[in-house]
Amino acid sequence: IMKLLKLPLVVLREIFSCMNYKEVFHFSLCSKQSFYRIKSLQLVRFSNIKFVDFMYTPKEIDVDIMPKNGDPRLHLEQIISVIPRKRKWKKFVQIEIGGNVMKFRQQTTKDKLVAVYDRKSQMVPFLNVIYTHVCNLFGDDVEYRMLHALCNKDQPKPIYENIKISRIWVWNRDVREIDEHFSSLPKQKFIQLHMGTMTGRLREDSKIFESEVVDVKDVESPIAL
């Protein structure tokens, strides 16, 4: 039986060029070989990505792609969206991401993947493996952005080296936590803080000040920069 991945590279490249970003991304999740085929044959396409935007909230993980100017599909294109749910389905699909197999259900209405998990803490492993896979696939030349929504005190703040632009929504969190969060990140090009109900004072040597641009929303909150 002939297999798709055994086809000549020029044939595979033509097939991949008929797919959009989301399909290419999902194809790369099929196996290691499919990952390396996509990575090696879609370098030109990936060089045309302006940035990759991760959105991380307690309720959802989204990854969107923005192509560069000149690309006819100049709009944010969602490549994966995961909504965690407690395990209640008997049937689910196993998807390999970043060398690990995770359990998902596909939603019919919005074509989203629904993560199947048991514990609340499993949200971070999901984000970790998705982040690792995305960065490995698209490479270091792409700009990675992260939108965090930090609402709960027990919500973790994943640290990723490739993130250069951060936007954070904050509620009921200590300023020191945000300070520590950015101290673990590389120097940011742009930080946008939606302060919400957060109070406190940033350290004088806070790494937030090293960012090229800091945009603070909700300035009526008693925070001292």
Partner 1 sequence: MSCEEPTTSPTPENNITVVSSDGKEFLLDLKLTEQSETLARLISNFEYDRTDVKKDPVPLGNITSAQMQKIIEWLQHHRYYPKWEQNDIHYSTSFTFETWVEEYLNIPNNEMFELLNAANYLNIPRLFSTICRIMASRITGKSAEQIRTVLNIKTDVKNDVYTGIPIQEDSSSSEDGMSEISLSPSPPPI
> Which residues in this chain contact partner 1 in the complex, by CB under 8 A?
1-8, 10-11, 14-21, 23-24, 26-27, 29-34, 45, 72-73, 89, 91, 93-97, 99-102, 104-108, 111, 113, 117-118, 122, 125-126, 129
Chain CA centroid to CA 195, Å: 22
Are 43 and 152 spatial neighbours (Cβ–Cβ below 8 Å)? no
| Shortest Cβ 45–partner 1 spacing (Å) | 6
Return the number of the residue (31 or 172) whose C-beta is nearest partner 1: 31
| Shortest Cβ 9–partner 1 spacing (Å) | 11
Structure tokens at 214: 């800091």
Return the number of the residue (93 or 213) whose C-beta is nearest partner 1: 93
DSSP per residue over 156-209, as a string? -----TTEEEEEEEESS-BHHHHHHHHHTSPPPSEEEEE-TT-BEE--TT-GGG
Return the number of the residue (23 or 161) whose C-beta is nearest partner 1: 23
> Residue 119 contacts by C-beta under 8 Å, 6 or more apart in sequence?
none
Return the number of the residue (116 or 150) whose C-beta is nearest partner 1: 116
| Shortest Cβ 141–partner 1 spacing (Å) | 18
Name the residue with tokens 């919005």. Answer: 110
| Shortest Cβ 106–partner 1 spacing (Å) | 5
